[in-house]
Amino acid sequence: MTAALVARVGASRVDVEPNELAAYARDRGALAAAGAPSAVVRARSTGDVVAALQVATAHRVPVVTRGAGTGLAGGANAHDGCIVLSTLGMDQVLDVDIAQRTATAQAGVLTADLQAAVVQHGLWYPPDPASRAISTIGGNIATNAGGGCCLRYGVTGDHVAALTAVLADGTVIRTGAATRKNVAGLDLTRLLVGSEGILAVIVEATVRLRRPPAPLSTLLATFASPPDAGVAVLALQRVADLSLLELMDRTTIGAVERLAGAGLDTTAGAVLIAQADVAETARCVAAMEGAGATAVTSTSDPVEAEALLDARRYALPALERLGVALLDDVVVPILAIPEMLARIEEVAARHRIVIGAFGHAGDGNLHPTIVLDPGDPRAEAKAKAAFREILAAAVGLRGTITGEHGIGLLKRPHLDAVIGAPERALMARIKDAFDPLGILNPGKAI
Ligand SMILES: Cc1cc2nc3c(=O)[nH]c(=O)nc-3n(C[C@H](O)[C@H](O)[C@H](O)COP(=O)(O)OP(=O)(O)OC[C@H]3O[C@@H](n4cnc5c(N)ncnc54)[C@H](O)[C@@H]3O)c2cc1C
């Protein structure tokens, strides 16, 4: 099989060296199983992807598509003997269409690079996962990534107009249209969004752009506890149409301060970082004070604002410095946020474990992150129990088990809690229609 790959895509793009294979075996998610790939293909073009998939199909070898490997659910983890198909070398922004307000990019373009490329044309690509500097647009589409600004502007999938993708047998398909409206046929674009590499390999994407927003006011509020901050989320919801509303609890604040020295109050039980239209600042301050904030400050200085957002972006890397970080990605209805935050604290106290909670509070999307001591043999079992209990708590509050990281391998055992048997069977039939031999990322996502 390796000889066939080399013949079709060239020796310089195929790697079988053991250290390289190990580097491509897993993503950033903790505790999900990972096998040993037999080859890594570093695609540079759609032609490379077609060739690799044709070889894989001929040899009946599974293919794990990989962007930057920053996923947190084991979605890009290798299967024993698989081909890891890396799109990271497909890194060209192909077109920025100012009149249509679209950009077309290869799948391996880093999200921040796409954002920088369109800014030069006076345009803005809103989806802003905290990993935007290190994750790819293809990976963002395959996971339907969220981020801070997604509160007002919608998640990645809301910005995808058209895709070029390659099916497992090498057939190239084009979905959607660059036009502002299009309802021709079934919406295959939307089906590929969030499909976690199990239906097709996305090779190019046309995304919708906006004009940059007017300058915003950025607010920082401290609270005695995460549930108190949750009450303020509800209060803000009633008075303003926020652009961003992020939460960090005391454990996360402490970790961020140790990593980055961002100047946050380490005695606070929780902080909220909000962005609102300047005209709504006073209303937001009053709402947070009325909901029990111990201090609220605001700034219209973009440099100060970016420093605060950076502090929030450090949350996961900072917690990862404390130990192995097992990240949940639960979403609850807005009204249930205070209760969900209280449940997370209860789980941490009962198991006597460290859980750092942070997340996109305005969307009800929380990332309780269980920090394990890798040297403690009982830690993994306790962490897994806490992980399950947090998922169950979210489902019990009429929430769901993932808002943006996907199911991958990590949450597949819990899928029945949120998707019924008929719907799961239908998803299996859709997978079968795209990939009848089950080549693409088998055993993941559905
Ligand atoms: C520090 C940090 C912060 C993060 N913050 C956020 C956040 O704010 N919001 C958020 O949503 N996520 C966040 N993440 C998670 C992660 O960055 C996202 O899931 C991201 O979209 C993954 O992109 P990637 O290129 O790394 O994809 P990978 O991890 O390589 O792959 C993810 C999944 O997509 C599939 N895939 C990748 N590329 C393609 C393709 N071209 N075609 C088909 N399938 C493909 C893979 O098979 C896998 O199932 C964060 C991660 C880290 C480490």
Q: How does pLDDT run across 220-256, given as a tens digit for each residue? A: 999 999 999 999 999 999 999 999 999 999 999 999 9
Contact indicator for 208, 238 with CB cutoff of 8 Å: no
Domain-terminating residue out of 208, 233, 257: 208
376 has a pLDDT exceeding 90: no
Q: Please list every protein residue whose CB sits less than 6 Å from any atom of ligand 1.
A: 27-28, 64-72, 75-76, 87, 107, 129-131, 135-136, 138-140, 142-143, 145-147, 196-197, 201-202, 316-317, 404-405, 441
Its pTM stands at: 0.97
Q: Are residues 276 and 369 in the same domain?
A: yes
Tens digit of each residue's pLDDT (9 = 90 or more) over 201-213: 999 999 999 999 9
Mean pLDDT taken over the chain: 97
398 has a pLDDT exceeding 90: yes
Q: Ligand 1, closest atom to CA 138?
A: 41
Pocket test for ligand 1, best of 131, 203, 369 (most atoms within 8 A of CB): 131
Residue ID of nearest Cα to ligand 1 atom 37: 139
Pocket test for ligand 1, best of 77, 143, 321 (most atoms within 8 A of CB): 143
Left, alpha or beta for 60 (phi > 0: left; psi -120 to 50: alpha)? left
Q: Are residues 201 and 228 in the same domain?
A: no
What integer pLDDT is reported at residue 130 of this predicted model?
95
What integer pLDDT is reported at residue 150 of this predicted model?
93
What integer pLDDT is reported at residue 437 of this predicted model?
98
What integer pLDDT is reported at residue 93 of this predicted model?
98
Paired with 84 in beta bridges are: 40, 64
Q: Are residues 289 and 196 in the same domain?
A: no
Q: Are residues 120 and 81 in the same domain?
A: no
What is the 266 CA–ligand 1 centroid distance (Å)? 30
Q: Are residues 15 and 101 in the same domain?
A: no
How many independent structural domains does the chain possess?
3
Q: Are residues 313 and 349 in the same domain?
A: yes
Confirm whether 429 is domain-assigned: no
Read off the pLDDT of each residue in 49-68 and give the average, rounded to a whole number. 98
Tens digit of each residue's pLDDT (9 = 90 or more) over 404-423: 999 999 999 999 999 999 99
Q: Are residues 279 and 351 in the same domain?
A: yes
309 has a pLDDT exceeding 90: yes
Confirm whether 403 is domain-assigned: no
Q: Are residues 298 and 374 in the same domain?
A: yes
122 has a pLDDT exceeding 90: yes
Which percentage of the chain shows pLDDT scores above 90? 99
Paired with 210 in beta bridges are: 124
Query: Which residue segment(s) compose the domain that 276 sits in?
Result: 216-396
Confirm whether 102 is domain-assigned: yes
Query: How far is the C-alpha of 279 from the C-alpha of 274, rounded, in Å?
Result: 14
Residue identified by tokens 């249509």 is 100
Q: Ligand 1, closest atom to CA 140?
A: 21
What integer pLDDT is reported at residue 375 of this predicted model?
81
Q: Are residues 241 and 354 in the same domain?
A: yes
What is the 30 CA–ligand 1 centroid distance (Å)? 14
Phi, psi of 271 (to 5 degrees): -125, 150
Residue ID of nearest Cα to ligand 1 atom 45: 197
Burial class of residue 90 in the structure, from the number of CB atoms within 10 Å of its CB (0-12 exposed, 13-18 middle, 19+ buried): buried
Domain-terminating residue out of 43, 64, 86: 86
Closest CA to 339 of 393, 401, 271: 393
Phi, psi of 216 (to 5 degrees): -115, 160
Contact indicator for 58, 3 with CB cutoff of 8 Å: no
Count CB atoms within 10 A of the CB of residue 170: 17
Q: Are residues 69 and 103 in the same domain?
A: no
> Can you give the CATH number for the domain in which 300 is found?
3.40.462.10
Q: Are residues 38 and 114 in the same domain?
A: no
311 has a pLDDT exceeding 90: yes
Phi, psi of 437 (to 5 degrees): -90, 0
What integer pLDDT is reported at residue 212 of this predicted model?
96
Amino acid (one-letter) located at 172: V
Q: Which residues contact 136 (CB under 8 A, 6 or more apart)?
A: 67, 68, 87, 88, 107, 108, 109, 110, 111
Read off the pLDDT of each residue in 372-394 and give the average, rounded to a whole number. 94
Confirm whether 437 is domain-assigned: no
Tens digit of each residue's pLDDT (9 = 90 or more) over 262-287: 999 999 999 999 999 999 999 999 99
Read off the pLDDT of each residue in 44-71 and give the average, rounded to a whole number. 98
> Can you give the CATH number for the domain in which 195 is found?
3.30.465.10
What is the 405 CA–ligand 1 centroid distance (Å)? 7
pLDDT-derived band at 306 (thresholds 50, 70, 90) equals very high
What integer pLDDT is reported at residue 377 of this predicted model?
82
Q: Ligand 1, closest atom to CA 71?
A: 29
Q: Ligand 1, closest atom to CA 147?
A: 8
346 has a pLDDT exceeding 90: yes
Contact indicator for 105, 207 with CB cutoff of 8 Å: yes
Domain-terminating residue out of 54, 86, 118: 86
177 has a pLDDT exceeding 90: yes
Q: Are residues 149 and 114 in the same domain?
A: yes
